[in-house]
Structure 1
Amino acid sequence: MVQSMGRVGCALDNAAAEAFDSTLKVEFVHRHRFTTRAEARIKVATWIADFYNTSRRHSANDGLAPITFERQMAEARRASTAQLRAEVA
């Protein structure tokens, strides 16, 4: 991992990226040993695609996994659209 830096004096430039980097390191990288950089790249990418983006609960999603949150949002949009159509008709 390589630390990234934002502009001098602006701590919030990379807040989201830094928070993700911290989560990745604490929850995955520091708990595993990798024999090569290629292995590390593959395993980190797999963790992100198969766990972080699908199953891991996120505080930004009210503690829901991204897939669950997206399904609820889609259902809420469908219900809202149906209600608007019913009101117009």
Structure 2
Amino acid sequence: MSGLYRFIHAEKANCPTVLLCRVLHVARSSSYAWRDGEAARQRRQAADDALAHEISALHIASRKTWASV
């Protein structure tokens, strides 16, 4: 479903969002909610990346003596 929202967001410069949503049978409110959630998704991804980096650094610092189970 997020592929549809991505498409609507990408094409909004070429065609009105209202028309895109109608043609694709997507609720306009859902499209706007997905768009507004983009910042939260980016923050979550950045936090996940930072955590993965920290875990990798700790693993290397421990001379790779521990691993996830």
Greater RCO (Cα-Cα under 8 Å, separation 6 or more)? 2
More helix by share: 2
TM-score using structure 1 length: 0.32
